[in-house]
Amino acid sequence: MKTFRRSFIYIFLSVVALISIFPFIWMIISATNLSVDVTQGRMLPGTHLFDNIRKLTEQINLVQALWNTLKIALTTTVLALVIASLAGYGFEIYRSKAKDIVFNLLLLSMMIPFAALMVPLYQMFSKLSATAPLIGVNTMAAVILPTFTTAFLIFFFRQSSKMFPKELLEAGRMDGLSELGLFFRIYMPTMKTTYSAAAIITFMSSWNNYLWPLIVLQTPEKRTIPLLISNLGSSYTPDFGVIMAAVVISTLPTALVFFLMQKQFVAGMVGSVK
Amino acid sequence: MRAVNHTMRNRAKLTGWLFIAAAVLMICLFYFYPMIQALLLSFKTGAGANLQFDGLSNYKRLFSDKTFFTAVKNTFLFLIVQVPVMIVLAMIISVLLNDSKLRFKGFFRTAIFLPCVTSLVAYSVVFKYLFGNDGLVNLALMNMHILSEPIQWISHPVWAKVTIIIAITWRWTGYNMIFFLSSLQNIDNSIYEAAKIDGASGPRQFFSITVPLLKPIILFTSITSTIGTLQLFDEIMNITKGGPGNATLSISQYIYNLSFKYTPDFGYAATVSYSIVVMIIILSFLQIKLAGDDK
C-alpha cells in the first residue's frame, strides 16, 4: 500500500515536471530545425541553428533589440533596488503611525490595474515629448520611469527588514555612522539575499515587459525583445525554426539569471514571505 | 538637555521621511496621479487629443456595449475556471514536495518553477504553435489515436478559451507553488507528529492542519492571481488576438483596442478601465471577507 502510494506520487510529480519542461525542450529542438521539420513534429535536434539565427538577424536587428532590452532591464533593476530598499528600510526602522498610513496607501497602488494607467501615462509622456524629448514617448526613460517603483518591492524589503538585527544599527550609531551610512554600510551588506531575490524579480519582469513598451516605443530601432518576438509570431507565413530561435535567445538571459542565483532567490523569497 | 533630545528626535523623524520620500513621490506620480487623470478622462469624449467633458455619456455607452460585456464574461470565465484549478494544483504539488523523504526534490521544484522564467510573449508564441491546427499537440493526440481529427484549438470559440486556460495554468502554477512551499516549511513538524499519534490519516491531516495553516497564503495567491487574470493581455494578444470573433477578448485587450487600435477613444477607454478597478476592489474585498469569516 505504502509503496503503491509512493510510486503514484513520483509518477504524478514526474508528469507535472515533464509538462513544465516540455515546451522548453520543444522550442530548443525546433530552433535547430527547418520550418518544415517542425510542422512534421520532428523531435530530434537538427543542424540548422546557425542558419535560423542568420535568417533571424536578416529580418530584424537582433543585437540592437537585445541591447535595448538589457539597458532598460539593468537600469530599472538598479533604480528599483535603491528606491525600494530605502523605502522598505525607512518604513520599518523609523516606524511611526503616520508612516504606517502612508505605507498602506502605497499598497493600494498594487490594486490599480495597468490598463487603467496606460492611457493617462501615454498622454503624460506624449506631452513631455515636446518639452523634454529625452524622456518623452519613444525613449528608454519613458519605459523605465513608470515601472521601476512598485509597492510590491517596497513591501518585500519592509518584510525582510523585520528580521534585520536592529542592534547592529545601535552599534553603528555608537561608532559614529550617519543614518545614511548605517543604511549603506550595515543594512545593504547584511541583506544580500533579499537584494538578490529582488534583483531577479525586477530584472525578469523588466526584461519581459510587453504592454507598456508596446505602447510607448514606436520606432523599430527602439524596440525590445518581447515586441520583436510578438511581431515575428504574428506573420502569416511563419518560419517556425527562425521564430523558435528568437524565442530561445530571448529566454536565455532570464533563465541564466535564475539558474545562477536560484539559491539566493529561494532564500530571499522565504525570508520575506514569512 | 530636553531641547537637544527633542531636536534629535525630530531629526530622526525627518530622516525616516527622507528614506521613503523618493518611493512615495514616484508612486504618486506614476500610479495615483494617472489614476485621477483616468477618472477625469472617463467623463470626456472625442477622438485622439480632442476631448471634451461630456457628463455620463461614456458610462451610458458602457452599459449598452455588447463587446464590453463579452470581454467581461470571457475574463470572468478565465477567472472562475483557472484560478481555483491552479491554486489547488499548486497546493497539492507543494505538499508532495514538502515530504522530507521525497527524492529528487530539487529537480522537481526547479522543473515546475521553470515556466516562470519565460516571458509572457515568448511562451504565448510557443503555445500558439503547439496548439495550432497542425501543431504538435494535435499531432501527438492523433498519433496516439486519442483523436481522429485535429481539434481547432485556436480557431474554435470554446477550444480557444481552453487553450488560454491551459497556457496560463502552465505559466503560473510553479510561481504559486513557491509561496506555498515557503510557507509549508514554516509549519512546525511536531503538529503533524501529534496528529499521527492521535491517529489522523494523511488526507485528514491535510484538511485539518495544512489547509487552515496555509490560509493566509491561499488568500495571498488567490488575490494576486485574480488581479493578474483581470489584467490578462499578453497571452490573448499573442495566442488568439481576442478571436475567433471576440471569443477570447479580455477587458485589457478591449481597452488597448479602444485606445491604440481603433480610432483612439481615450475617454471611453478610461471608462472601461475603471470597470476593472471596481471589479478588483470588490473581488479582493470579498476574498478577504470570505477568508476571515469561515473561522
Model ipTM value:
0.88
To probe the interface with A, which of B19, B88, B163 has the most A CB atoms within 10 Å? B19
| pLDDT per position as a tens digit, A11-34 | 999 999 999 999 999 999 998 888
SS3 B45: strand
Q: Does B83 touch chain A (CB under 8 A)?
A: no
| pLDDT per position as a tens digit, B217-275 | 898 899 889 888 988 999 999 999 887 889 999 999 999 999 988 888 889 999 999 88
Nearest to B228 by CA among B269, B283, B184, B177: B283
Q: Do A87 and B119 touch (CB under 8 A)?
A: no
- Spell out which residues of chain A touch residue B252, defining contact as CB-CB under 8 Å: 113-115, 211
| Residue B142 near residue A52 (C-beta atoms within 8 A) | no
For residue A249, the distance in angstroms to the closest alpha carbon of chain B comes to 10
Q: What is the CA radius of gyration of chain B?
A: 25
pLDDT of the residue at A274: 45
Q: Do B17 and A99 touch (CB under 8 A)?
A: yes
Q: Do A90 and B20 touch (CB under 8 A)?
A: yes
Q: Does B85 touch chain A (CB under 8 A)?
A: no
Confidence of residue B7 (pLDDT cuts 50, 70, 90): low
Task: Name A221's Cβ contacts closer than 8 Å, sequence gap at least 6.
Answer: A61, A64
SS3 B68: helix
Task: Name A168's Cβ contacts closer than 8 Å, sequence gap at least 6.
Answer: A186, A190
Q: What is the rounded CA–CA span in Å between residue A7 and residue A3?
A: 6
Q: What is the rounded CA–CA span in Å between residue A205 and residue B121?
A: 12
Q: Do B140 and A41 touch (CB under 8 A)?
A: yes
| pLDDT per position as a tens digit, A123-147 | 999 989 888 888 889 999 999 999 9
pLDDT of the residue at B135: 85
To probe the interface with B, which of A5, A15, A20 has the most B CB atoms within 10 Å? A20
Q: Do B119 and A145 touch (CB under 8 A)?
A: no
The one-letter amino acid code at B199 reads: G
Question: What sign results for the dihedral spanned by CA atoms A37, A38, A40, A41?
Answer: positive
What ranges in chain B are assigned the alpha helix state H? 2-27, 33-41, 57-63, 66-97, 105-113, 120-130, 136-143, 157-184, 189-197, 202-205, 211-230, 234-235, 251-256, 266-293
| Residue A84 near residue A156 (C-beta atoms within 8 A) | yes
Average pLDDT value for residue range B93-111: 88
pLDDT of the residue at B6: 63
Task: Name A178's Cβ contacts closer than 8 Å, sequence gap at least 6.
Answer: none
Q: Do B186 and A262 touch (CB under 8 A)?
A: no
| pLDDT per position as a tens digit, B108-128 | 988 999 898 888 999 999 999
Confidence of residue B295 (pLDDT cuts 50, 70, 90): very low
- Spell out which residues of chain B touch residue A233, defining contact as CB-CB under 8 Å: 121, 124-125, 128, 238
For residue B112, the distance in angstroms to the closest alpha carbon of chain A comes to 5
pLDDT of the residue at A235: 74
pLDDT of the residue at B285: 85
State the DSSP H helix or E strand holding residue B55, giving kind and residue range, or none if neither. none
To probe the interface with B, which of A9, A27, A112 has the most B CB atoms within 10 Å? A112
pLDDT of the residue at A149: 92
Residues 164-183 in B contacting A (C-alpha not used; CB under 8 Å): 170, 174, 178-179, 182-183
Task: Give the residue, A57 or A36, on which the prediction is more confident.
Answer: A57
Which residue's entry shows cell 507528529?
Answer: B193
Say how many CA atoms lie within 13 Å of A273 toward its Cβ.
Answer: 24
Q: What is the rounded CA–CA span in Å between residue A156 and residue A98?
A: 20
- Spell out which residues of chain B touch residue A119, defining contact as CB-CB under 8 Å: 38, 41, 255, 259, 266, 269-270, 273
| Residue A105 near residue B22 (C-beta atoms within 8 A) | no
Average pLDDT, chain B: 87
pTM for the whole thing?
Answer: 0.88
b/e map A182-197, b = 16+ CB within 10 Å: bbeebbbeebebbbbb
Phi, psi (deg, nearest 5) at residue B13: -60, -45
Confidence of residue B192 (pLDDT cuts 50, 70, 90): confident
Average pLDDT value for residue range A102-121: 90
- Spell out which residues of chain A touch residue B179, defining contact as CB-CB under 8 Å: 269, 273
Q: Does B134 touch chain A (CB under 8 A)?
A: yes
**pLDDT at residue A90 greater than cutoff 50:** yes
| Residue B133 near residue B155 (C-beta atoms within 8 A) | yes
For residue A85, the distance in angstroms to the closest alpha carbon of chain B comes to 9
Q: Does B4 touch chain A (CB under 8 A)?
A: no
Give the cell for residue B281: 476592489
Omega before residue B212 within 30° of 0, cis: no
**Residue B52: DSSP 8-state:** E
- Spell out which residues of chain A touch residue B93, defining contact as CB-CB under 8 Å: 13, 16
Find the CB nearest A120 among B37, B107, B237: B37
The one-letter amino acid code at A126 reads: S
Confidence of residue A272 (pLDDT cuts 50, 70, 90): low
Mean pLDDT highest for which of A79-83, B179-183, B277-281? A79-83
Average pLDDT value for residue range A250-273: 75
For residue A268, the distance in angstroms to the closest alpha carbon of chain B comes to 10
For residue B18, the distance in angstroms to the closest alpha carbon of chain A comes to 8
Q: Do B26 and A99 touch (CB under 8 A)?
A: no
To probe the interface with A, which of B17, B25, B26 has the most A CB atoms within 10 Å? B26
Find the CB nearest B125 among A89, A102, A243: A243
